[in-house]
Amino acid sequence: MPVFYCVHPKTEYRGVRREIWRGLNGGWFLTHLTSDPRFPNSPTTVHTLPTFTPPKNDANFYGQRLQAYFVPPESGNYGFHATCDSECAFYLSVDETPVNKKDIILIDQQHRTGYDEWDR
């Protein structure tokens, strides 16, 4: 269940920062992640992915947050897509401040997708 935020500019990451919270009670809804006392400051695991594609069938009862900068090569309209097998949210912000993030994509349980299922 990915949750996307902008990273803080004082910390540089090459790729996509992936934070994982394992052992969630339930793990199917975003609230299982966001209401866990370890979220957002104490993930179980943190590592860097080369793209926004986390591993398939990684685990059960976990939540994750993927973070990266999006720096468009030129001004214009951009489209974003997401797949998730539970619930997920995709946020964008004009800066690193979480208060400025906007919901771009929200997928609930009734609209969940398979891994890499792009035709829904």
Spell out the alpha helix ranges (H) of 1-120: 30-34
The answer on pLDDT for 1 being more than 50 is no
Task: Convert the pLDDT of each residue in 19-50 to its tens digit.
Answer: 999 999 876 789 999 999 999 999 999 999 99
d(CA 2, CA 28): 11
Alpha-carbon distance 42 to 19, whole Å? Answer: 9
Instruction: Enter the pTM of the model.
Output: 0.81
52-61 pLDDT, tens digit each: 888 888 888 8
CA distance 46 to 67: 11
